[in-house]
Amino acid sequence: MPASTETIHYVCTVRSSRAKAVDLARAEIAALLRDCDLTLPAGGPLSERPGVYWVDLAEVHARTMEERAARLGYTERIEELAATGPPRRNRPDGPLKWKGSWYDPLTVWESDPEEVRLSSPDMRDFALRGEDGRVRTARGYRGDGSSLGPKALPVPDCRLLVNLVFAPEVRSLLDPFAGAGGIVHEASRNGYSVTSMDIEPNVAPGLEGLGATHQEGDAGAMPFDSASFDAIATELPYAEERPGTVRRWTDEMLRVLRPGARCAVMCSLAQRDAIAAAASRERAVVELSEEIDRRGTRVAVIALRR
């Protein structure tokens, strides 16, 4: 039988902690479903809810969307608008009217708060090598507290960055500023072959324990061949804002990416222009550049395509 060409309308609700980052949530789901027939309408029903956006998807891709939804970081609920008849009486939980038709919003996926909690850095064991060379396990390791040292991204941000570089052909992923391993953890759980890198030697055992092939070193001079990786997802050290250093990091990330591959970076606003300048010089395409407020700190999320 031929595949259905019907379109399903979905209402998507952004995670409450990221409710103001609707544009990033839209970009994330569009990237995660980039191989599906997806459109993102500018408006739709239930717009009175905070942090809502809409997705129209060909019915043939509905199962793919539901399977991949568990990877989402910024979206917490997806509802399908199922066609129905008008209500017999007005009820707040009854069907809704949109464009002259009646629909029942049916939840097809919802984020599990307990799963997200258990995936957080606070709940993970992380192996650290001390100055004496001995490896000790730290519970809930989130970095050393220094401005340039390792740190741990929250789960939604890790998932966002990994999803922004998604493509069906992606197999290998590099995090050149791996820190406490949040991105490594999310990429590994989704089946990628992950390579981590960090200039701090003490985090190597922990990153390897999360499933990465680890390399200690400076991200401004990576020991990898050109065009080695299918994707890069990372968070830059915010304190390093010298344009020359940031451009060197970006040059290296683009060098080790395969042609057509993507890089997603979370950085300080002060670093954004240097990244864009390096991308332009290397003729990389800036597919996304959005600001987000992370607990009072304004940062940028940038996605580049080689």
Give the position of tokens 């200690």: 216
Read off φ and ψ for residue 117, nearest 5 degrees: -60, -45
Domain final position from 111, 141, 167? 111
In a domain, 276, yes or no: yes
In a domain, 1, yes or no: no
Read off φ and ψ for residue 215, nearest 5 degrees: -135, 120
Q: Specify the CATH number for the domain of residue 242.
A: 3.40.50.150
With 0.75 as the threshold, say if the pTM is over it. Answer: yes
What's the total number of domains in the chain? 2
Give how far Cα 80 sits from Cα of 44, 112, 161, 205, 215, Å: 12, 18, 26, 44, 44
In a domain, 150, yes or no: yes
Token pair of 289, please?
């550049």
CA distance 98 to 83: 10
Residues 278, 228 share a domain = yes
Token pair of 195, please?
């390579």
What pLDDT, on a 0 to 100 scale, did the predictor assign at position 1?
Answer: 39
- Mapping DSSP onto H, E and C, the string for 85-151 reads CCCCCCCCCCCEEECCEEEEEEEEEECCHHHHHHHCHHHCEEEEECCCCCEEEEECCCECCCCCCCE
SS3 state of residue 201: helix
Residues 143, 103 share a domain = no
Residues 256, 184 share a domain = yes
What pLDDT, on a 0 to 100 scale, did the predictor assign at position 146?
Answer: 65
Residues 123, 104 share a domain = no
| Tens-level pLDDT at each residue, the chain (306 residues) | 344 579 999 999 999 999 999 999 999 999 999 999 899 999 998 888 889 999 999 999 999 999 999 999 999 999 999 988 888 776 667 788 888 888 899 999 999 999 999 999 889 999 999 989 899 998 888 877 666 666 789 999 999 999 999 999 999 999 999 999 999 999 999 999 999 999 999 999 999 999 999 999 999 999 999 999 999 999 999 876 678 899 999 999 999 999 999 999 999 999 999 999 999 999 999 999 999 987 777 899 999 999
Instruction: Provide the residue type at 44 as one letter.
Output: G
In a domain, 2, yes or no: no
Closest alpha carbon to 109 in 138, 77, 132, 80:
77
Burial class (CB in 10 A: 0-12, 13-18, 19+), 145: exposed
Give the position of tokens 């994707």: 231
Residues 282, 177 share a domain = yes
Domain final position from 111, 135, 151? 111
Residues 19, 135 share a domain = no
In a domain, 288, yes or no: yes
Residues 70, 123 share a domain = no
| Domain limits for position 177 | 118-305
Residues 264, 146 share a domain = yes
In a domain, 236, yes or no: yes
Closest alpha carbon to 230 in 301, 173, 272:
173
Residues 243, 207 share a domain = yes
In a domain, 146, yes or no: yes
Residues 148, 25 share a domain = no
Read off φ and ψ for residue 124, nearest 5 degrees: -105, 150
Token pair of 202, please?
């003490």
Residues 291, 174 share a domain = yes
Residues 281, 238 share a domain = yes
Q: Specify the CATH number for the domain of residue 37.
A: 3.30.70
Domain final position from 77, 111, 145? 111
SS3 state of residue 51: coil
Q: Rg of the chain over CA atoms, in angstroms?
A: 21
CA distance 304 to 276: 9
CA distance 272 to 276: 6
What pLDDT, on a 0 to 100 scale, did the predictor assign at position 143?
Answer: 77
